[in-house]
Structure 1
Amino acid sequence: MAGDAWPKIAVTGATGRLGGRVARLLAARGVAQRLAVRSPQRAPALGGAVAVRCAYDQPEQVTAALEGVDTVLMVSGSETPDRVEQHKTFIDATAAAGVRRLVYISFFGASPDATFTLARDHWATEEHLRASGLRTVVLRDNFYLDFLPELVEADGVIRGPAGHGRVAAVAQDDIAEAAAAILADPDGHDGATYSLTGPEAITLDEAALIIARRTGRSVTFHDQTVDEAYASRAGQAPDWQLDAWVSTYTAIANGELDGVTDDIPRLTGHRARSLDDLLAAQR
């Protein structure tokens, strides 16, 4: 399936929100690409794009899909208990395919002892990537700005143990633009780790006020205790997923999602979108 005529850039996760955005941006630039996805029939139909079957936990599939590729965008896999093992399998198979460079979508402040449990998965993936021999570019995204309005429950309340902590949430469109810019012209980025944030760090009280103003709804933030957070979500998901949900908020409370960088402006050439910008564009 590989050959000189085949695209040298591969994008994973193109059937999802972030990977799909990146793929569309590359297509708009006229960049040929392989869409390495679990279900090729669900891949977007884009000029210059070829969909190939590629599941992270199927190494032979990965190697076949990526043969002849120079640069891969790796969007982190679905949240599952074995996600890190799937990531490692994909990275090893990517290296075996002869790929030179992997651009990985990681998480802001990824570390082995991060409060947000899934940030620990990203750290483990980064460590494996660094030992792979591949050239690497790491994009550590803060929480998705697009996700903040989805935290509002049916009664107009955001509930979670975030306290007065601040989150420098970043728009998916900005992440995608940054990733597409790197993929289209990767020279000078090898070995870099970028921390992608919005233009401001806000509390969930402030987020509620912005959402209320832009939507016309009554929106407030209720600061739960950790025990209340677990009790209110009990029975809705496995324990590991409950830990991830609750630590979404406690990471904010602990100040681990605070801190604004200029990486989005430097990579995209424009100011990062704020929550107000995002909601204004949706009206």
Structure 2
Amino acid sequence: MTPVSPERLIVLTGADGRLGSRLAFRLAAAGGRQRLLVTGRGVAPRLPDGAPLPESEVTAIPADADTRALTSAFAGADAVFLVPGRDRPGRLTRHRAAIDAAVLAGVRHVVYVSSIGVAPDAIASGARDDWRTEEYLRGTDLTWTMLRTSMFHRTPTFAVYDESSGSGQNALLRAPAGRGRVATVSHDDVADVATAVLLDEDPGRHAGLAYHLTGPEALGFDEIAATLSEAVGRTIRYVPQTVEQARALFYRSTATEVEDWITQCQAIEAGVLARVSPDVGHLAGRAARSFEVWLDDYPAEWAHLRLPSVR
């Protein structure tokens, strides 16, 4: 890898999240200078011995930080890695505040984590917000790169529930996705691509481009359930849901979380997330990780699916 210029500062929003923390470790390992933004109760990633990452500074910002606060947080940065907000309403407003701050702070390049299927009339609610964010970013003088991701490997594991009848050995993967297929992607693959883009000594190589980041194969939810069954050692069956059933199942989640989940599943049913893209392989320099490989690499992420006797 080409040595990283010590003059370049990269700011990571969401550095306390799954994606941001993985990226922070990669940038630190490559010698990149970075500022890690954490919000709320989030904790910045640290080395196993508790030491801070080298060449990294940590800045705490409120979850609803405005343009002024973000301008200060972005000061001196050459590039900003921008992850989308989780909550609506206000998600799009926060995205625009971050982009405005990047302009005011003199940032040169923004790498935005978007989603596959972006459009003003996208099926998935998150993809509609991402489209509006992309359009807002295009309307500035900033150079930009869009990382449009598929559903993450981890997501379907939280739609698995134990059956309420029978022996109790089986479980159901429930989702309003019909027989659609999805090329899920790992957080590691997205972090590797982001590292390649952010540390490229020729940032213009990625300017104005949108990369589609998927896993190596598109699976139906029945295949995802079968792969999970093999990993956890018990049967998990996929049961397609109606929208009404999905809303009833996720009654403990916020309205935004439920809407994002349901509409993403509807996009899967419509075939929006079925295409397998070669972009991870081209940018990361290796094949994308499959769902099966991810299960083997991260057993703690799906340990909640194991029966108590085999945990």
2:191 maps to 1:184 = no
Q: Secondary structure at the match of 1:25?
A: helix
Alpha-carbon shift at residue 217 of structure 1 (Å): 2.1
Q: Secondary structure at the match of 2:112?
A: strand
Distance 1:245 1:274, change over 3 A: same
Q: Which amino acid aligns with 2:150?
A: N
Q: Secondary structure at the match of 1:145?
A: coil
Cross-structure match for 2:223: 206
Distance 1:238 1:52, change over 3 A: closer
2:103 to 82, 95, 104: 95
> 2: CA distance between counterparts of 1:52 and 1:280?
34
Cross-structure match for 1:105: 113
Q: Secondary structure at the match of 2:181?
A: coil
2:87 to 79, 104, 108: 79
Cross-structure match for 2:148: 140
Q: Which amino acid aligns with 1:106?
A: S
Alpha-carbon shift at residue 65 of structure 1 (Å): 1.5
Q: What's the TM-score, normalizing by structure 2?
A: 0.85
Cross-structure match for 1:229: 246
Alpha-carbon shift at residue 119 of structure 1 (Å): 1.0
2:32 maps to 1:31 = yes
2:244 maps to 1:243 = no
Q: Secondary structure at the match of 2:276?
A: coil
1:268 to 275, 279, 284: 284
Alpha-carbon shift at residue 178 of structure 1 (Å): 0.4
- 1:77-120 deviations in Å (ceiling 9; x for gaps): 22221100010011001110000110000011111111111111
Is the CA contact 2:16–2:42 (under 8 Å) kept in the aligned structure 1?
no
> 1: CA distance between counterparts of 2:41 and 2:244?
43
Cross-structure match for 1:281: 297
Unaligned runs of 5+ in 2: 1-5, 46-51, 164-170, 300-311
Cross-structure match for 1:256: 272
Bigger shift: 210-219 or 153-162?
153-162
- 1:111-138 deviations in Å (ceiling 9; x for gaps): 1111111111111111111112110000
Is the CA contact 1:9–1:72 (under 8 Å) kept in the aligned structure 2?
yes
> 1: CA distance between counterparts of 2:246 and 2:17?
28
> 2: CA distance between counterparts of 1:51 and 1:6?
18
> 2: CA distance between counterparts of 1:204 and 1:238?
24
Percent of matched pairs sharing the same residue: 38
> 2: CA distance between counterparts of 1:167 and 1:206?
10
Over aligned residue pairs, what C-alpha RMSD do you find? Answer: 2.0
Unaligned runs of 5+ in 1: none
Cross-structure match for 1:193: 210
Q: What's the TM-score, normalizing by structure 1?
A: 0.93
Q: Secondary structure at the match of 1:113?
A: coil
Deviant stretches of 4+, over 4 Å: none
Distance 1:40 1:33, change over 3 A: farther
Q: Which amino acid aligns with 1:53?
A: A
Cross-structure match for 2:180: 165
Q: Secondary structure at the match of 2:72?
A: helix
Q: Secondary structure at the match of 2:205?
A: coil
